[in-house]
Chain A
Amino acid sequence: MNSKIKATAIKFGNNIDTDVILPGKYLILVDPNELAKHALESLDTEFTQKSKKGVILVGGKNFGCGSSREQAPLALKYSGVKCVIAESFARIFFRNAINIGLPVIECKGISSAVETGDELAVDFEAGKIENVSNAKKFQVDKLPPFILEILADGGLIENLRRRMNKK
């Protein structure tokens, strides 16, 4: 997976929970493309239309709080979200996103530096975020090497397959 991403931002607020990202009634769906149709629908009925072209989701504090449902980051990824940047993340969502190959970056101050529609350039390996629309730049702590390896492989399963085949 390319660690450099460029896309338009869609911004949300604090505490975006997993019930709002992907409601419980859709958890019986198994096809990620079906899940994607319902991503964030109770916050924005047009989200999947807007995200189709490929977007970067920007969130406030505690993004992804609530359930362990992996269907939440899956729905976002398959609806076109290339990466999620937030002030802070709920821990299960953070791990799930990495495990399915959806880059997540914690960046304090990102909420006030980005508006929906801004063009963002992200290099998650280097920990660099740039808001091209207003020239604001951020340098964040790099993710540990083994997590970057999982993302580079496209997810935990792909990473595990590669490591187990090596042996």
Chain B
Amino acid sequence: MNITEKILAKASGKKAVHPGEIVDANVDMVMVHDLTGPLAVEAFKKIGIQKVWDNKKVVVILDHQVPAESVKAAELHKTMRQFAKDQNLRIYDVGKGGICHQVMPEKGHVTPGTVIVGADSHTCTYGAFGAFATGIGSTEAAAVFATGKIWLKVPSAIKVNVKGSFQKFVTPKDLILSVIGKMGVDGAIYKSAEFTGPTIKSMCMAGRMTMCNMAVEMGTKNGIIEPDETTRKFLEGRVKSLPNFEALKSDKDTVYERTVEFDVSKMEPQVACPSSVDNVKPVSEVGNVPIEQAFIGSCTNGRIEDLRLAAEVLKGKRVKDGVRALVIPASQEVYRQALNEGLLEIFTDAGAIVCGSACGPCLGGHIGLLAAGEACVSTSNRNFIGRMGSTQASVYLASPATVAASAVTGKLTDPTTLETKA
């Protein structure tokens, strides 16, 4: 069996499972945020039972409309605070957490080998830690609150094998954009995407999270990477105890539906052009594309490693007149670290605005929206029509280095072509 099958077999009390089989899995952790939580609370109350099945396994995180920009949003937050209080749940409130997919592993709610579901499609991010993690809806979350279980169809697995070393300013974001560009937004519907190979093994946790975060954009059920020393180093001190990682390796004779090979040695910075995540090409091929907004942040690329890269590009430079650059650290912890390392000073001196740890412009419902005719280059994960505001605006997806370089020139720019100060 592969790692996904092993986790699902254990969670459903079976010796083995095979693709297509429907299992009833025990859930180790369920997460809801401020936009999906209220519907889950409403649905849970209708079931007619008083308490969630295990209050240590439910996490509430406020991150999408943070801080509340409207009375409606404030009401949603109030609902979630009350529910967390009534049920004695862990809640990460404004100023105490950050974006849900950063907070969950940071605060020790992600353990390799566990089944984690979240009412957010990018829950697949935690596959980076060798957990089975997938997105669900609010009503589904309510059912998990009540029963502690979820039915799952075992996915068949696609192996994405990566070799080669990244060139300067080419990153895991460029790699995952390449993968999605090749596979298509419907190229892996219902599949498990298992990322393997020396490039993945030598990738830090931030890069692995970027990879698994965007796995959903090609339709996968989950993205997953075998846990190893890198995983252990990140989680030590955050998680009470770690399982034996030997049991979380795909068997050598595992049969995959298909294997897709990538070599990053010659890979250039990539960009996903409007309005589909698979509309990917090298930045060097997009021609002259002026931008009005540059956004560095989101659950895809808001970590300290991403901010360091952006700061390296922006140091001593200014954001071009006519461009607004937003930098949003993915969590309070990342924010504090960026402050300590002098990164926020670099961003501020460059003329970028540093905002509070939250989802920000990513889904077009809070801050940093676009007017008709405007273009934004963003480190986030979706660029559908209307995603970041006006339906007449355009969103380009890229790495922190590409976004930072583009902020300086005022147009889509390959960061390898920009001179940076040491």
A residues lining the B interface (CB < 8 Å): 14-15, 17, 19-20, 23-30, 42, 61-62, 65-71, 88-92, 95-96, 99-100, 144, 146, 155-157, 160-161, 164-165
In contact, B39 and A29 (Cβ under 8 angstroms): no
Please report the C-alpha to C-alpha distance between residue A27 and residue B39 in the assembled complex, in whole angstroms.
10
| Nearest chain B residue, comparing its CB with the CB of A93 | B137
Bound form: Cα–Cα A30–B79 in Å: 12
Contacts of A164 in B (CB 8 A): 47-49, 146
Nearest opposing residue in chain B for A158, CB measure: B46
Contacts of A61 in B (CB 8 A): 186
CB <8 Å contact, A19 and B186: no
Chain A residue nearest to B48 (CB atoms) is: A161
Scoring B76, B151, B189 by chain A CB atoms within 10 A of each residue's CB, the highest score goes to: B189
A157 to B186, Cβ gap below 8 A? no
Q: Which 8 A-B pairs have the closest CB atoms?
A: A24-B363, A96-B137, A24-B365, A62-B186, A70-B137, A19-B384, A99-B139, A68-B135
How extensive is the interface on chain B, given as a class?
Answer: 35 or more
Residues of A within 8 A of B189 (CB): 62, 88-91
* Residue in chain A with minimal CB distance to B155: A91
Q: Tell me, rounded to whole Å, the shortest Cβ–Cβ distance linking B200 to chain A.
A: 24
Q: How far is the CB of A162 from chain B (nearest CB, A)?
A: 11
Q: How far is the CA of A88 from the CA of B189 in the complex (A)?
A: 9
Q: How close is A70's CB to chain B, nearest CB, in angstroms? A: 4
Structural contact, B142 and A157, CB atoms closer than 8 A: yes
A165 to chain B minimum Cβ distance, whole angstroms, is 8
Q: Give chain B residues whose Cβ lies under 8 Å from the Cβ of A68.
A: 36, 119-121, 123, 135-137
B residues 46-105 near A (Cβ < 8 Å) are 46-49, 64-65, 70, 72-73, 76
Q: Could you write out 11 A-B pairs with CB less than 8 Å apart? A: A17-B382, A19-B385, A24-B387, A66-B384, A70-B39, A91-B221, A95-B137, A95-B140, A99-B137, A99-B140, A100-B139
Contacting pair A144 B143 (CB below 8 A):
no
Chain B 179-208 interface 0/1 with A at a Cβ cutoff of 8 Å (1 = within) = 000000110011000000000000000000
Partner of B121, one of A25, A92, A144, A165: A92
Q: Among A69, A88, A100, A146, point to the contact of B35 (Cβ < 8 A).
A: A69
Confirm or deny: B386 has a beta carbon within 8 angstroms of a beta carbon on chain A: yes
User: Complex: how many Å from CA A94 to CA B22?
Assistant: 15
* A62 with B384: CB separation less than 8 A: no
Cβ of B219 within 8 Å of any chain A Cβ, yes or no, is yes
Query: In the bound complex, do residue A30 and residue B46 qualify as a contact, i.e. CB atoms below 8 Å apart?
Result: no
Contacts of B221 in A (CB 8 A): 91
Partner of A28 from the list B49, B65, B185 (CB cut-off 8 Å) is: B65
Q: Given the complex of chains A and B, what is the CA–CA distance between A90 and B186 in angstroms?
A: 8
Chain A nearest Cβ from B288, distance in angstroms: 27
Contact partners of A25 in chain B: CB under 8 A: 364-365, 389
A65 and B185 contact, CB distance less than 8 A: yes
In the complex, A24 Cα to B33 Cα: how many Å?
14
CB distance from A104 to the nearest CB of B (A): 13
Per-residue A-contact encoding for B264-287, CB less than 8 Å = 1, 0 else: 000000000000100000000000
Contact between B151 and A28, CB atoms less than 8 A apart: no
A28 and B123 alpha carbons, distance in the complex (Å): 20
Query: With the chains together, A73 CA to B192 CA distance in Å?
Result: 24
**B384 x A96 contact (CB < 8 A):** no
Provide the bound-state CA to CA distance between A27 and B63, in Å.
13
Do the beta carbons of A144 and B22 come within 8 Å of each other?
yes
B146 contacts which chain A residues (CB < 8 A)? 160, 164
B39 touches A30 (CB 8 A): yes
Question: Hey, what's the 0/1 contact readout for B390-404 against A, CB within 8 Å counting as 1?
Answer: 010000000000000
A15/B185 in contact, CB under 8 A: yes
Nearest residue, chain B, Cβ from A15: B185
B127 at the interface (CB under 8 A from A): no
Q: Mark B111-144, 1 if CB is under 8 A from A, else 0.
A: 0000000011101000000000001111110110
Complex Cα spacing A92 to B189, Å: 10
Residue on A with the closest CB to B276? A15
**Distance between Cα atoms of A30 and B74 in the complex (Å):** 13
B227 at the interface (CB under 8 A from A): no
Question: What separation, in Å, do the CA atoms of A154 and B36 have in the docked complex?
Answer: 21
Contact among A19, A30, A71 with B382 in the assembled complex (CB-CB below 8 Å): A19
